[in-house]
Structure 1
Amino acid sequence: MTTEAKRKISASSARSHTRNSKSDSSSPSSSGIFKKLLLLFFTGFLAWFYQSACPPPPNKLGSPDGLPITTPRIKLRDGRHLSYKEFGVPKEVAKYKIIYVHGFDSVKHYAVIATAASPALIEELGIYIVSFDRPGYGESDPDPKRTLNSTALDIEELADQLGLGSKFYVVGFSMGGQIIWTCLKYIPHRLAGATLIAPVVNYWWRRLSVNLSTEAYSKQFLEDQWSLRVAHYLPSLTYWWNTQKFFPSLTVIAHSPKILSNQDRELVPIFTAGRALVEVQVRQQGEYESVHRDLNIGFGTWKFDPMEIENPFPNNEGFVHIWQGDEDILVPVTLQRYIAKQLPWIKYHELKGAGHMFPYADGISDEILKALLLGKN
């Protein structure tokens, strides 16, 4: 009995040992398959992410199979084309010649100082205004080598090819206003005067007050804070961030009504009137070539700080103006005040109760033109 029991136990133990051996021998195989699947998943994720992060090529402009060209264009030094539109009196008889720089997510047709100003004032003063599509917008070719100074050089070449003379005025709105800083830095000798209307402020300009900049940045919408961080620190991911569906993109790109102040809401019927026919042109070449490149340049690392610019008109032969609404949701008034204080030669105009779109309010564009051209406060 005892021997038989031992034999049974030994056989049972042997079978158990065999089962454990088989189980153990299968573990490395299962682990290897898991690792391969994990590697395959990770590789697929990287491929998907890379494809999602790479912007598509811009849509082609012009014949035979590209987007239609509806306004005149000039050919620039590097072979690109710049599309423009003229307003006001003919340049041949104009007393004042102005180049207008449109804002973010906009086109040449929205030249507010031309469309919202009084036709009688433009005629009386003899004002000629030319607005152009910035690179990648509307009907102007993209600029894959775009830098801080390249648009300023485009402006200078536009003036030369149109025969505007040795000096001309520049006016920029919003992101276009930010570009006027580059004109003051790189082509001051060509300017007769300049106006920056609600110019966008880069929170990383090195001479901004850190406390004021941090405070103003913290008051921005959370989705905007993240979008601007990406544009500043990881510009190669700007396209992905603003096209992915996991997190909200920049409010301006999404056309969120949250960005409108009380006054802006009242002005909506005015600044949207007649846009249906040309609105499609804004991003027609692709979001990357228009709004995303704008973000990367506007909120990237600048080689200079606007507060380091010296007065381009030391003998008062011209003036630089900044116009700002004190209820602007997009551009913090606290930072605009600080910049104006650091540059005492700036003529600073702050409008109480005004939002970002105040140039469309009745009479404001007239005031802006009179201040620039006639020196009226």
Structure 2
Amino acid sequence: MATEGNVVLADGRNMTFAQYGSPDGHPVLYFHGTPSSRLEPLLIGDDTFVRLGLRIIAPDRPGMGRSSFQPHRSFTHWPVDAIALADALGLGKFSVLGNSGGGVYAAACAARIPERLHSAVIVSGAWRMDQSQVLAHLHFMTRLAWRLAKHAPMLLGLLLRSMAASAGKDLTQMKSILPQPDYDAFEYPGRYEAFGYMFREALRQGTRGAAWDMRLYVHPLGVRLQDIQMPLHVFHGEKDANVPMALVRETLIAIPTAKLTTYPHEAHLSTLCNRFDDIAQALLEG
């Protein structure tokens, strides 16, 4: 079962986190998607983390879950928070895993604090999401969310509340929206319900934190990807309907140390859930 904790950061903000897996396992800071929360590792399950010898530490990002909002933050602020959390837990070197909207946060750590990292891994990672050639490949609702993130964050808040209200309740309604691999992954007992919990927890304080988090993906990222000198393992499903494969390949050109592993029959969520043994191996090996 997950345990929870809280760290008071240097500027007085609270950062809340949840821990999963083996307490004496290999430490991994897990950066959740957007919008999401520290509950996201429930999609995979404690038994898997224990079996693989991992200690998963999942913090809520600012303004989501129980973590304090941080005005004017960017991706480059995150490595400071990650170090503060690791130090509070007495970690020396640790790994980072960014899933979906947590991807650039893992990249920022790889660029800024490589001396503290054992490994850096991105799964189904989002990059710059407001490009017309990217939006053209997305489902209408996903495309709308990114456009509102850039042009009308208050309306994005209304959309997120509506999405959260229905999340995790009736999977059959998602049949026409999700790629088949993601739909199949959600059919695993308890997983779609866990998705609803993590989504609603993201909006516990309102929508400001989640809207700000999404906003960062529709403006210049501010992370110098070419500064990443350590290995960066990237896992992506070729059927991903949230982050097109072409965007991933184009972005990774800027990161000579990136190693891309693709799965022809996986999508956005299913890559995380179905390929976690591969992901764990990258985390452990570095």
The separation in 2 between residues aligned to 1:222 and 1:120, in whole angstroms, is 38
| Identity in percent | 24
1:332 aligns with 2:244: yes
1:198 aligns with 2:124: yes
In the alignment, what sits opposite 1:107? 37
**Per-residue CA distance 1:266-304 (angstroms, 9 max, x = gap):** 111333245566654221100122x21111122223334
In the alignment, what sits opposite 2:154? 239
**Per-residue CA distance 1:109-149 (angstroms, 9 max, x = gap):** 22268627635633xxx422211111111111111232222
**Aligned residue identity for 2:128:** N
Contact 1:116–1:365 under 8 Å retained in 2: no
The separation in 2 between residues aligned to 1:252 and 1:274, in whole angstroms, is 15
Structure 1 residues 170 and 338: CA distance shift in structure 2, 3 A: same
Gaps of 5+ in 1: 1-69, 205-212, 313-318
Structure 1 residues 322 and 178: CA distance shift in structure 2, 3 A: same
Contact 2:27–2:54 under 8 Å retained in 1: yes
Q: After superposing the two structures, state which structure 1 stretch, 352-361 or 274-283, moved more.
A: 274-283
Higher relative contact order (CA 8 A, sep 6+): 2
The separation in 2 between residues aligned to 1:143 and 1:252, in whole angstroms, is 24
Structure 1 residues 179 and 158: CA distance shift in structure 2, 3 A: same
Q: CA deviation at 1:83?
A: 0.7
Count, aligned residues: 275
Equivalent residue for 2:114, pick from 156, 168, 188: 188
TM-score (norm 1): 0.65
1:168 aligns with 2:94: yes
The separation in 1 between residues aligned to 2:234 and 2:269, in whole angstroms, is 14
1:353 aligns with 2:260: no
Q: CA deviation at 1:340?
A: 3.0
The separation in 2 between residues aligned to 1:97 and 1:214, in whole angstroms, is 38
Q: CA deviation at 1:372?
A: 2.5
Q: After superposing the two structures, state which structure 1 stretch, 254-263 or 156-165, moved more.
A: 254-263
**Aligned residue identity for 1:187:** I
Q: Which of the pair has more CA radius of gyration?
A: 1
Q: CA deviation at 1:305?
A: 4.5
Contact 1:121–1:366 under 8 Å retained in 2: no
**Aligned residue identity for 1:296:** R
Equivalent residue for 1:217, pick from 114, 121, 135: 135
The separation in 1 between residues aligned to 2:112 and 2:30, in whole angstroms, is 17
Q: CA deviation at 1:230?
A: 4.4
Paired residue secondary structure (2:88): helix
Bigger strand share = 2
The separation in 2 between residues aligned to 1:259 and 1:294, in whole angstroms, is 23
**Per-residue CA distance 1:76-111 (angstroms, 9 max, x = gap):** 011011111112222xx44x2111111112111222
**Aligned residue identity for 2:103:** G
Q: CA deviation at 1:215?
A: 2.9
1:299 aligns with 2:236: no
Equivalent residue for 1:267, pick from 176, 185, 190: 185
The separation in 1 between residues aligned to 2:11 and 2:133, in whole angstroms, is 42
Structure 1 residues 287 and 221: CA distance shift in structure 2, 3 A: same
TM alignment of 1:1-377, pairs within 5 A = 71-90=4-23, 93-94=24-25, 96-111=26-41, 115=45, 118-119=48-49, 121-122=51-52, 126-165=53-92, 167-203=93-129, 214-222=132-140, 224-232=142-150, 234=151, 237-243=152-158, 257=174, 259-270=177-188, 271-274=191-194, 280-289=200-209, 291-306=210-225, 308-312=226-230, 319-359=231-271, 361-362=273-274, 364-374=275-285
